[in-house]
Amino acid sequence: MFNRILVATDGSPLSKKAVASAIALAAQHGAELVAFTVVPKYPQSYLDGAMTFAPEDVGRIEKQWAERAQAALAAIGERARAGGVKVKTAMVSSDRVAESIIAAAGKHRSDLIVMASHGRKGLKRLLLGSETQHVLTHSALPVLVLR
C-alpha cells in the first residue's frame, strides 16, 4: 500500500514512539523510510534592544544542533536497517517546520507522513502553535498522527 513513508522527528520521547511505529509500518508494507528532521535557526533576538549573540556563537550553537540531529537520524537509520527497512535520512535548517515537512515529503515522493502530536490544548496550543495541525491541514498526502 505504501512505497515510501516520511517520518518527521524532533528527537522528543513522543516522536521516538512515532519513529518506532513508522519503522514497523514500513517493514509491514515493504516500504522505504525517510527519517526527516528540521533543525531550527537560532533566534537572533526576541525584542528590539534584546541581547544578541555574536555570529560565531550563533553558528556554533546551530552547528551543535545540526550535529545532534544528524546523530539522532543515524540512530534511526541503524534501527530501521536492523528491522530490514531500507532508509534514507534528511535534515534541513528552517524556522518553518510544517512547510519543511510537507516539502520534504514531496521531494522524496512519499506516500505517507508519520509524525507525533504533543496534544497541547487551549492557551498552550494557541501560543505554541501546532506544526502537526499545520501539516494535517496543508498536506495533500495522508498524515498518520501518533500520540
pLDDT band with cut points at 50, 70 and 90 for residue 44: low
Buried/exposed 107-117: b ≥16 CB within 10 Å, e otherwise:
eeebbbbbbbb
**Number of domains forming the structure of the chain:** 1
By the 8 A CB rule, do 113 and 142 touch?
A: yes
The whole domain housing 92 covers 1-40+52-103+113-121+143-147
CATH number at residue 72: 3.40.50.620
- The confidence score (pLDDT) of residue 78 equals 98
Q: Kindly list the strands in the beta sheet with 4-8, ordered across the sheet, starting from the edge strand earlier in the chain.
A: 87-93, 32-39, 4-8, 112-116, 143-146
* Position 32 in a domain: yes
pLDDT digits (tens, 9 = 90+) for 21-32: 999 999 999 999
- The confidence score (pLDDT) of residue 117 equals 86
| pLDDT of 69 strictly over 90 | yes
Total-model pTM: 0.86
Query: Cα separation of 58 and 54, whole Å?
Result: 6
